Amino acid sequence: MDEEIGILRQRTIEAAFAKELHAEMAKEIGEERATAILARAVIRMARAAGAEWARRAAGGRTSIRSFAETLPAWTKDDALTIEVLKETETEFHFNVTRCRYAETYRAMGIGHLGAVLSCNRDGTFCEGYDPRLKLTRTQTIMEGASHCDFRYSLEERPRAESFSEAEGSHPPPQSP
């Protein structure tokens, strides 16, 4: 991410390109497939960005606090108006009450792609940043709600460690 220009400006530049690319793909393969391809690419970019931000965290150690410290990058240029509700060692909750990302995509005529271009990044960004970090969100301004409800939580350990999934073993069967 180029923090000098701000993430809102970066997303606007990316969206202009994505708009035209999506339109061309939709002509060839249909709207649904074009949107699915765009979504996969954005998700892959978000995961990689999360990993890059994690490398920048103090000493490469991620936490709720280090994650919360990334917020100014997302709010730069009044991109988001947020209300922090809770911040502990394991939880970070806030509401977004104004989203200029949504406003920008609508102004560009691609409001229908806004969730693909922005909202679906949030959870997968967490995967790259720290596999223990989970996002729960039930509504977004992008999809017409009055606010976005971001609820981040930090699990004690990544799920992959729970049953050695990384090594291919599985949890013991549960009794009915």
Kindly report, residue by residue over 117-151, the tens digit of the pLDDT.
Answer: 999 999 999 999 999 999 999 999 999 999 999 99
Residue in the structure block whose two tokens are 């069967």: 173
Percent of the chain with pLDDT over 70: 86
In tens, the pLDDT along 14-36 reads: 999 999 999 999 999 999 999 99
Q: Report yes or no on 89 lying in a domain.
A: yes
18 assigned to some structural domain: yes
80 occurs within a structural domain? yes
Tell me the pTM: 0.82
Q: Is residue 174 part of a domain?
A: no
Sorting pLDDT into bands at 50, 70 and 90, what band is 173?
very low
Token duo for residue 78 = 């009044």
Number of domains the chain contains: 1
Domain assignment present for 170? no
The residue type at 100: R
HSE-CB for 8 with a 13 A CA cutoff: 17
| Domain containing residue 50: CATH number | 3.30.1380.20
What is the C-alpha separation between 142 and 105, in angstroms, rounded?
9
Q: Which of 145, 102, 124 is nearest to 11 (CA)?
A: 102
Report the pLDDT value the prediction gives residue 60, as an integer from 0 to 100: 76
Q: What are the b/e assignments for 124-156, b being 16+ CB within 10 Å? A: bbbbbbbbbbeeeeeebbbeeeebbbbbbbbee
- State the residue range of the domain holding 88: 7-158
Q: Does some domain include residue 76?
A: yes
